[in-house]
Structure formats: structure tokens, C-alpha cells
Amino acid sequence: MGDDWADPVAAVTRRDVLRLFSAGMMANVLSGCRHDWPPPGKCEVPYPIIDVHCHFFNAADVPVAGVVRYLALREGAPDKKTSKLIKGLAVVLVVALADVAPEAKDELAVLRKRARRFSEAELARRRDEQLYKAMEVLIELANGERSASEFLQPSTADRSDFELLLSELADHANLPRNFQKGLGGASDEDIDAIVEAAKNHDIIGVYVRFVQLMQDYRKDLAESYLRIYRSQCSALSLITPSILDFDKWIPGKASPQRDQINVMHEMQQVVAKEHGVHMHSFVSFDPLREAWDPGSSLKNVKYAIMCKGFIGVKLYPPMGFMAIGNTRSGIDAALKRLYKWCCENDVPIMAHAENSLGARCGNGNLASPQHWRELLKFDRYKNLRMNLAHFGGFDENRRQGEETGVLVNCIQDKFSGPPSWEQIIGETIHDDRRLNLYADLSYLSELVSTTSTGLHYDIRKRLNAWLRAYDPDARHLMFGTDWSMMSRERNYNNYVPRMVDGLAQAGVSDNHRQNILWRNASRFLGLDRPGPTRDRITAYCKEYELGTDWLSALAIA
């Protein structure tokens, strides 16, 4: 694309300064060749739960450099040393991610029993071999034998960053620091020790384990999710994971959208038949792809929704576009084609709506709900059902004037409220009477990953005040986990019970908690009543023998 990125990522949010930098918080995410998940929390509720926002994609589904910069390495560094370690680690992880995660077409062949899947031992060996190669590259980088630009463009890491990273790992492996004098001077045993040190390091290990998690089969990611969240809440009835489409915006390649759609189609059947949880996915729409090749991205949307049991469309504005009013040629026309088709076919749209993770400095602000407010003023879009995802941190008020980026200064990404984005959403729902506008509470990590009772109280207080002011019947907030992104958090295995308890402590009544945990999602998705969405899902479930009784439980009088 020729766009310059802020390095490592410009838009970092409230969640980024709260996560990852505590010893061992994810020490059990991956161990050896098997997932060793922590025990799930308990959550007993006598009604369904719908997770309206989660993900099962792996590293083959998004550009590798994007995975590292955009997903894995977006956390704030607490000190200069850690910042230097992370800058060096960014390049190493690009190498570590290469050529291991199964591509969508290969997993599709496995799911259709046309190919053999790798065993857990084989996958673990492939991960470790690639990590071994990454450590060989680290030694070469530290010795000035290679350039970081070979692996990550652009990169601000220099030789001193790699020297520091290698010395840090050597110390943890109890190796003499001078062993890295040329790759030939490092034995296989030395590099093996560095690999193990990287896995077990309090900070570096978090990144390594998350990257290795991203190398899994998508089906394994889904089943890991179910082991954690289904076991703690047997009432979990429906999950709606999203696939992504980033490769026109960030460097690298990804599994074609059609292949990803077909994989999720097969997984929807497996999850329902083997686990009793219904799964209907969100397909990504990229307006840039659509602008360059009119009809291409919309064709994938129609295929997924009309033929493969998908239930909605996912948009990701921080890649580089707004809901409306874009100056880049063709973007608005592409979005309008999508909006028109969704209105005509009763298809819901979910959009990332947090000032975070922009592909360029300043792009996080493109996700502002103000842009969606402007769109919904058009009469032809008044019936568009929208979910503005990642509600609930109130950053623009709590962190007014702070930069969203922690490792990188980007004045365009400063929190500029009040009003908070939550307030804008509230005013759009209440004052503008946009009754089809929703927001989800996915990745509300402040109520899970931190031990700050003061922060917990403040978030609950703000949430209670928001409901009283804008949504007294609690008809517009929805529950979501944002798995597998949530796997980076301390206590992520307790997310469901923590959220249920947090809502109760925020003064939300049981009846209104039911709205948030399932009724609102049923309304947003179009499953609460007879109509095109319910008809499509019913037909799909009948065709693939998935049962339809569960739909009756989601009907709302």
C-alpha cells in the first residue's frame, strides 16, 4: 500500500497498559505439545447466554507482520528496557510465526476428511522448530549479520535492541553472555536453551505463547474456547465468531476469504453436533477490496450469508476508513452497496468501535461512534442493525488527553473527550432514537485482568450511570468475550462469571442482565422474531441436521 506505519502500532488503548506485565499471568496457556488451560470459573445462570463477539482465526488468516504488530505486540512497556526488548522481539516473532499455522484450504481438507491433520506433537514440533529458527535469526541480528528490515517493514529496532534481547534470554538460560559471538559459536544446545528461556520469560514468554497459540488449527481454538466457557456456563447457547480481512491494508498475505468462509461453515456443523453450542459467524467486508474490484468483497458477504449459515457482517474502520464521508476513491460507494444490501436482507453489522489498533497513526479515531451517528441520520439507513463493539472503558473521560499509544507517540490518537465514545453511543440511541443501535461489552478487561478495586468500582459506576441516562431498560448492550484475544489476560478463564458478577454489582437487575446476556443479541441478530435472518438460519440448520429447537428459546415475546 505504501502507507507508513507508526511503530510498533500507533493506537493502543486502555486495555494495553493493564495487561501482560505481571509475572506468569499466562504461564499455562501453552505447555509442551498440549494446551494446558487454567481451570474455568463457575457461572450458574438459568437462561441462555449469547457470545456475540469472538474469534477463531489463526496466523494464516491475517498478514504475519500484521499479527505481530497489530495483535500480539500492542502492549505498553512499563520501562525503557522493556520497550527495547519488545522492539527487538517484534522482528523475532515475525520469523517465529512463519509457515506453521495451517492455511484455511488445508484445514478445510482436514475437516472434510480429505487430508490428515497434524497431531498435537507434530504441531508442537513445527512451532518449536520455527521458534528455533527465530532464535538463530536473533543471534545474527545481534551480531550485525542481518538487518531487521529483511523481516519487518518498517522497524525501529537496531542492533542494541537485539543484543539486549539476546542477553536477557541468555541470562534466563544461565548461559554466558559472550556465547553469541557469531552463529557458529552457538551450539544447538545453546539455542535450545534460548528457546526455552523465551517460552518461560515473564514478559517475553507471554508474547511467544500467544504467537504459538495463533499457529493452531481454527477448530482447536474453538474447542479450547468451549472447554473454558461452555464448562463454566452450560447455558452458553450461541456464539458468533468473526473472520477478518486485513491484507489490503497491512503488509503480508492471508488465506483467501472464500477459504475462511468455507472453514467456518464446516466448523459451525462440528461445534453444534459435537458440543451442543450453535455457531453462526460474521463475515468480513473490506471496502478497499470492494473499491478496487467492485462486487468482490460483497460477493463473499452474499455467499457467506446466503449459502453458508453466516449471520452478519464485520467491519474494521481502524484499517483506514470511516462509516461515511471517506475521501479515498470508491470507499463510500463500496460501503453504501453493503449498507443497502444489509438493509434489504435484514443482515446485522458489527463494527470495531474503540480508539485502538489503527493500521496507521490516527486511524483509531476512524472507529468513532460519531461517524456511525452521522450515517444513521440518513433515513434509508434507519433500520440498519448495528453493533458498535468494545463498549465500556470510558477512556475519553478517564484518560482525557492521554495518548492511546504507549510505545509510540501519536498526537492524533490522544483521548479527546468528553464526550466519551460511550456517551456518543448513548446519545445516538436515546436522543436520536436509533433503536437498532447496539454495543457489546467484549474484552472489558478492566473487570477481569486487574486487581484494582478502585478501577472496578469506577467502571461499574460509569456503566450504571450510562444505563440510567440512556438505556434504562438495558435493551442495547450485549455480552461478548473477544476470545481468542482474551487469552492474553490474567483471569481470562473467569471472564463470564466476572462479567455476570460485575453487572450485578453495577446495579443491573436480573431481568436487565438477561437482556445483556442474551435477549439484546437475539434482537440484534434478528433471531427474536420471524423474519429473513431467522428463516435463513432455520433453513441452514435443517439442511445440515443441526436442529432448530434452540431457536425457539431465543424468541422474545
What is the per-residue pLDDT across 463-516, written as a single tens digit (0 to 9) for each? 999 999 999 999 999 999 998 887 767 677 778 888 888 898 899 999 999 999
106 Cβ contact list (under 8 Å, min separation 6): 115
Q: 44, exposed or middle or buried, with CB in 10 Å at 0-12, 13-18, 19+?
A: exposed
Q: Residue 258 is placed in which grid cell? A: 472464500
Confidence of residue 403 (pLDDT cuts 50, 70, 90): low
By the 8 A CB rule, do 275 and 236 touch?
no
Dihedral of CA atoms 152, 206, 363, 319 in degrees, nearest 10, equals: 70
Per-residue pLDDT at 19 exceeds 60: no
188 — phi, psi (to 5°)? Answer: -55, -40
- Per the prediction, the chain carries an average pLDDT of 85
**What's the rounded mean pLDDT across residues 362-369?**
90
By the 8 A CB rule, do 155 and 149 touch?
yes
Per-residue pLDDT at 527 exceeds 80: yes
Element holding 312 (H helix, E strand) = strand 312-315
Question: d(Cα 160, Cα 483) in Å, to the nearest integer?
Answer: 35
Cα 391 vs. chain centroid, distance in angstroms? 14
Q: What is the DSSP letter of 367?
A: G
Distances (CA, A) of 304 to 239, 289, 299: 16, 17, 9
Per-residue pLDDT at 18 exceeds 60: no
Per-residue pLDDT at 407 exceeds 90: no
Q: What is the set of domains in the chain, with CATH numbers? A: 65-212 (no CATH), 217-543 (3.20.20.140)
| Residue with grid cell 494464516, as numbered in its chain | 60
What does the pLDDT read at residue 350? 98
Q: Give the pLDDT confidence of 419-467 residue by residue, as tens digits.
A: 999 999 999 999 999 999 999 999 887 777 666 788 888 989 999 999 9
Per-residue pLDDT at 37 exceeds 70: no
By the 8 A CB rule, do 478 and 521 touch?
yes
What does the pLDDT read at residue 10? 27
Beta strand spans in 318-434 (E): 349-352, 386-389
The amino acid present at 483, given as its one-letter code, is W
* Bridge partner list, 437: 386
By the 8 A CB rule, do 465 and 471 touch?
no
150-154, 374-378, 385-389: range with lowest mean pLDDT: 150-154
Residue % of the chain over a pLDDT of 70: 84
The amino acid present at 484, given as its one-letter code, is S
| Residue with grid cell 522481539, as numbered in its chain | 89
Cis peptide before 416 (omega within 30 of 0): no
What does the pLDDT read at residue 15? 36
Q: Give the pLDDT confidence of 280-319 residue by residue, as tens digits.
A: 999 999 999 999 999 999 999 999 999 999 999 999 999 9
Question: d(Cα 37, Cα 331) in Å, to the nearest integer?
Answer: 42
Confidence of residue 412 (pLDDT cuts 50, 70, 90): confident
Q: Residue 220 is placed in which grid cell? A: 482447536
**DSSP assignment of 536-548, as one string?**
HHHHHHHHTT--S
Element holding 31 (H helix, E strand) = strand 30-31
**What's the rounded mean pLDDT across residues 94-122?**
93
**What's the rounded mean pLDDT across residues 234-251?**
89
Confidence of residue 99 (pLDDT cuts 50, 70, 90): confident
Per-residue pLDDT at 183 exceeds 70: no
**What's the rounded mean pLDDT across residues 184-213?**
85
By the 8 A CB rule, do 49 and 517 touch?
yes
Bridge-based pairing state of the strands 349-352 and 312-315: parallel
Q: Give the pLDDT confidence of 134-177 residue by residue, as tens digits.
A: 999 999 999 999 999 888 877 778 999 999 999 999 999 988 76
Task: With CA atoms as reference, report the closest residue to 216 among 484, 488, 25.
Answer: 484
| Residue with grid cell 434504562, as numbered in its chain | 472
Q: Residue 28 is placed in which grid cell? A: 499455562
**DSSP assignment of 220-286, as one string?**
HHHHHHIIIIIHH-TTEEEEEEB----TTTSSS----HHHHHHHHHHHHHHHHHHHS-EE-PEEE--
N- to C-terminal Cα distance for the chain?
50
Q: Residue 439 is placed in which grid cell? A: 454495543
Degrees (nearest 5) of the Cα angle 350, 355, 359?
85
What does the pLDDT read at residue 257? 96
* 532-538 LR contacts (CB < 8 Å, sep 24+): 532/345, 532/346, 532/347, 533/311, 533/346, 533/347, 533/348, 536/305, 536/306, 536/309, 537/280, 537/309, 537/311
Per-residue pLDDT at 67 exceeds 70: no
Question: d(Cα 226, Cα 274) in Å, to the nearest integer?
Answer: 11
CB atoms within 10 A of CB 99: 14
Question: d(Cα 48, Cα 342) in Å, to the nearest integer?
Answer: 27
| Residue with grid cell 462440528, as numbered in its chain | 270
What does the pLDDT read at residue 46? 77
Beta strand spans in 420-543 (E): 437-440, 477-478
Degrees (nearest 5) of the Cα angle 343, 240, 219?
140
Residue % of the chain over a pLDDT of 90: 58
Element holding 279 (H helix, E strand) = strand 278-279
Per-residue pLDDT at 184 exceeds 90: no
Question: d(Cα 286, Cα 257) in Å, to the nearest integer?
Answer: 10
| Residue with grid cell 511467544, as numbered in its chain | 208
What does the pLDDT read at residue 42? 64
By the 8 A CB rule, do 411 and 403 touch?
yes
Kindly state the greatest CA–CA separation across the chain. Answer: 73
